[in-house]
Amino acid sequence: MLRRILKGLATSRALIDADEALRHARELANESRHGEAIARLDHLLSARPDCVDGLVLRASIKRAIRQLAGAAEDVGRAMELAPDDPRCVFELAFVTYLQGDRRLALEYCERLRQASPGDERACTLHAHIQLGGDHYHQLLVRILDFVKPRTYVEIGVDAGDSLRLVEPPALAIGIDPEPRLTHPLRANQKVFAMRSDAFFASHDLRAELGGLPVDLAFIDGMHHFEYALRDFAHLERYCARDSTILIHDCFPLDRETAERDRRYTFWSGDIWRLIVLLRKHRPDLAVHTIGAPPTGLGLVRNLDPGSRVLLEHYDQLCKELLSLDYSYLDADKAGKLNLFPGEWEKVRTLISS
CA distances from 215 to 80, 265, 302 (A): 55, 32, 12
Over residues 59-114, the pLDDT tens digits come to 999 999 999 999 999 999 999 999 989 999 999 999 999 999 999 999 999 999 88
In the predicted model, is pLDDT for residue 282 greater than 60? yes
Mean pLDDT of the 302-322 span: 97
- Single pTM value for the model: 0.89
Q: How would you classify the pairing of strands 239-248 and 286-290?
A: unpaired
CB 191 within 8 A of CB 185: yes
User: Which pLDDT band, with edges at 50, 70 and 90, does 8 fall under?
Assistant: very low
Cβ burial 233-260 (10 Å sphere, 16+ → b, else e)? bbbbbbbeeebbbbbbbbbbbbebbbbe
Mean pLDDT of the 215-221 span: 97
Question: Distance of alpha carbon 206 from its chain centroid, rounded?
Answer: 31
What SS3 state is found at 87?
Answer: helix
